[in-house]
Structure 1
Amino acid sequence: MILGTLYYFSSGLKQQLQASLVASERPAELGAFPITVPTIKYGFAIDTFQVFEKTIQSGQFLGDILIQQNMDYPSIEQLVRNASDVFDVRQFRVGNPFTILTKDSTQTADYLIYEPNVYEYIVFHLKGDLKAERIKREVTSEVKSAAGALETSLWNAIVGQGLSYDLADKMEDALQWSIDFHHLQKGDEFKLVYDQNFIEGEPVGIGSVHAAYYKTGENEYHAIYFDNGKESGYYDLEGRPMKRGFLKAPVKFSRISSYYNLNRFHPILKRVRPHFGTDYAAPYGTPIYAVGDGVIEKASYTNGNGNFVKIRHDGTYQTQYLHMQKFGPGIRTGVHVKQGQVIGYVGSSGLATGPHVCFRFWKDGKQVNHLNLKFPPAKPLPEADMPQFKMLRDQYLELLSQAKEVKVEEDGATTAKKGNP
């Protein structure tokens, strides 16, 4: 009996000791010792640095910033030279953010990170190899749709839903050959299928517009983006290119302040004088675009026209753009230009009462009202591309049919209203 009892206790003690040894060999539970995860930003564990986040101020240059970070002039000059192939430091813009990373604020800082836009940043190495790196942020995208109806303007119809104003600009790019965006009407309807871009889960801008729909009065227009590997662009539902020989207007989102009129009373000369152009009013500095491919016949100045550009497009058509504030980059007589290229900026040079561009159009050497011209349709896609195009078209039409208008309430809440099919 005594021996049995001793065996029981010794056996139990042995088991307890073995269990204790096993437990001591186990790794500690994860929660027992907290693990510190470093904060990674711009590719650095910024917890190990002193971090100073600032924005570029008016009149501030890279040299001004680096001198404050204890960097000497020869080093600054060397950095600027080494960085020139990556980033032109003269492109620093007021209001853009930059960050200083330093281990010791009494010594030269380690890094300066400048953000020219949301999609990338520039890392300037301020010690060792003085250099710069351009880093692209990882961008993800999600296909979204939008719909709306005009009450006052296209811009308000889009921005009023909390959507990016870039959508209005990109929708005009898709439909600019078919719709006169200077004559939009209350009640006009639109729908879009587009990419919403994200960086680290935050929306940062609009990517491509895949499909667009616009209805004005009884007229409906569709634009489907298609890329066959050789060429790409917007096409109508039958596979015909939306792109035509000429844009509807030389300025985006402006208004027509004066039409082609052979009996117009001139506001400065105070007498009846034929007006052979169409005036598009817009703020000073608004870009003016070439409405078609061609060669600049003249880029000059006269007292009446102010700064002007005249383009020959072919043996039949010419266009002219008057009262510019200044010419676009590289614009001069004899230069070839492409449709949509910036050739100048809206101004009021010459005989002008305010900022606008007087747009003139010649056909066979005679000035005509371009708003009344009809141009032949472009050739459709090759038959070999049509099956793929139709499949893509039908997918986008289905997404367009599901597009909903979002109503933003005063309290910030949103409700969805489905657009017409």
Structure 2
Amino acid sequence: MPLTKLRMLTDRMTGAERRFSLRTLVTLSSLPLFGVVAAFGLTPDTSTLDTAPETITEAIALPVLTTSRNATFARETVTQSGDTLSSALSRMNIDDLEIQRLLSTDAVHQLSANVGPGKLIQVTTAQDGQLMTIQFQRNNASDLIVRRQGDAFIAEEGDQATEMRVVMRSGRVLSSLYGATDSAGIPDKIADKMAEILSTNVDFRNDLRRGDTFSVVYTVKYRNGEPADAGKLLAAEFVNAGKSHRAVLFSDPSGREDYYTPEGESLKKGFLRSPLEFSRVTSSFSNSRKHPVFGFHRAHTGVDFGAPTGTRVKATGDATVAFAGRKGGYGNLVILRHQSGYETYYAHLSAFAPGIRPGRAIGQGDVIAYVGSTGASTGPHLHYEVRISGKPYNPMTIKLPGSAPLDVAQRARFLQQTASWSEKLAMLRGTNLAALD
């Protein structure tokens, strides 16, 4: 029964009948009202009628409502700045002395410390107003629960009920990518991931077209029945200028996750082109360049990226640390050894990331150091080199290797694991897309 109908019923109740919990009333509303006949329609504008409208009153038979002895009533509030749990309960007229004594015990006080604003407090009372339970949202994972047990109260910490749900959304770009994803109700975390994994094939800064479409399949963590946190992006499709680019998430037997095309081709490049997220090239690769410190001409065997001191330096590919220390004009230097004879150099560093030492395995995108100006340097920047079997190549133009393909066993696992996500993308392709800003 619609909520407006429920309100119509409660308006006709006596005072005793109103003291029903919403749960009881909703249950009753699902039962048929025998002998009830009602008609609903649009009333015409009376100013256009020649005769006054006729008012029709019809008696409606209501079922006899009886009060349940076990009916409980729920109330809730949200904590405000400066609240304690006790003050928030007082605002709800909960001033039971036994509750106040329980809240003052060390164990409960520790659980309810640092209340902070915006926390949900729910209380239930019996029909006679007797307090039954208090549930306080401590954080995003647990609650403080106080229950009546006979004439006393007990307190306990309880985990919030959580579940993961799969969500599917689609949209159409009219002006900007993030305007479109916001309008589609897609969390920024998911939009960021879609842009990241498809950026190897789509230039989201320069190549977006009005009318481009996108679809995403992702998980959302629900806490106590309400959406709480966006989880993982399971699959994505972006149609740019009529060309489809798709990605699905695959987890190998070791638990390592990565994104592939539905056909099993890795979307991860073997190497990133740049070890810095945001930078500018201040000095290019050259066979003969006047050195800014020494003044004579010699080969510049890498590329210099201008960036402030402390900017994070990331490994451009999976590797093992071959060297981390100070080395002549390089200053602080990290050398990473990759597969197939590739090595990358990161020089003039201000500091190394924690744990960076020879022999340590590094993943692509891991932070290994921070931009500085050590060694033969005139200012903060990163000197970056790519070498193959010891010979330097231009990092900006060299054809970089791709990721290793899936083997036969992995491919079979991949197809079985990702079939569902590919099917969901296909389903979304046929849906009506919202027009988005």
Q: Give the TM-score, by structure 1 length.
A: 0.56
1:10-409 to 2 correspondences below 5 Å:
29-30=66-67, 35-37=72-74, 49-50=86-87, 103-104=103-104, 109-112=109-112, 119-120=140-141, 138-147=162-171, 149=173, 158=181, 163-171=186-194, 174-175=197-198, 178-179=200-201, 184-187=205-208, 191=214, 192-200=216-224, 202-214=226-238, 221-227=245-251, 232-252=257-277, 254-258=278-282, 260-262=284-286, 274-279=299-304, 285-301=310-326, 304-314=329-339, 316-347=341-372, 349=374, 351=377, 353-354=379-380, 357-371=382-396, 372-375=398-401, 378-380=404-406, 382=408, 384-385=412-413, 388=416, 391-392=419-420, 394-399=422-427, 401=429
Matched residues in 1 for 2:433 and 2:295: separation? 49
Matched residues in 1 for 2:321 and 2:333: separation? 11
Matched residues in 1 for 2:295 and 2:241: separation? 38
Residue 143 of structure 1 aligns with an amino acid whose one-letter code is: V
Matched residues in 1 for 2:433 and 2:328: separation? 50
| CA offsets 1:248-287 (integer angstroms, 9 cap, x no match) | 44344x2443474316677777887654334556666554
Matched residues in 2 for 1:266 and 1:102: separation? 74
Q: Give the TM-score, by structure 2 length.
A: 0.54
SS of match in other structure, 1:240: coil
Residue 331 of structure 1 aligns with an amino acid whose one-letter code is: I
Residue 188 of structure 2 aligns with an amino acid whose one-letter code is: Y
| Post-superposition offset of 1:240 | 2.6
Q: 1:213 to 1:255 in 2, by over 3 A?
A: farther
Checking the alignment, whether the CA contact within 8 Å between 1:246 and 1:291 is kept in structure 2 is: yes
| Post-superposition offset of 1:210 | 1.3
Residue 103 of structure 2 aligns with an amino acid whose one-letter code is: K
RMSD of Structure 2 on Structure 1 (CA): 5.1
How many pairs does the alignment contain? 319
Residue 364 of structure 2 aligns with an amino acid whose one-letter code is: Q
| Post-superposition offset of 1:328 | 1.7
SS of match in other structure, 2:359: coil
Q: How many percent of aligned residue pairs carry the same amino acid?
A: 25
Matched residues in 1 for 2:317 and 2:77: separation? 49
- Stretches of structure 1 that go unaligned for 5 or more consecutive residues are 1-27, 53-100, 124-131, 407-414
Residue 337 of structure 1 aligns with an amino acid whose one-letter code is: I
Matched residues in 1 for 2:183 and 2:310: separation? 26
Matched residues in 1 for 2:338 and 2:190: separation? 30
Question: Who is 2:95 aligned against?
Answer: none
